[in-house]
Amino acid sequence: MFFNKKIQKKTYDKENQKPVIKASICNGEQVAGFMDIHTGAFEEVMLIRDSGDLVLFKDTYGIDEDIQKIY
């Protein structure tokens, strides 16, 4: 009851950004964030350690579709 955190919904610029997961080839570290469609600039949002973190990222930003991985 006291320890359940409510997920705060956040938004992103859907016209100019797309959600991606940036993965390292060397150590497999994954970071979720948004890539600017026009410039290719990546904005890190959170570290993805397991599938629960990915679900939290998708729920927080209201993402329903699959997220592309970039290396």
Q: What is the 3-state secondary structure (H, E, C) of the chain?
A: CCCCCCCCCCCCCCCCEEEEEEECCCCCCEEEEEEECCCCCEEEEEEECCHHHHHHHHHHHCCCCCCEEEC
pLDDT in tens for each of the 71 residues of the chain?
Answer: 556 666 678 888 889 999 999 999 999 899 999 999 999 999 999 999 999 999 999 999 999 999 999 99
Dig out the tokens for 20 from the structure.
């991606």
| pLDDT on residue 5 | 65
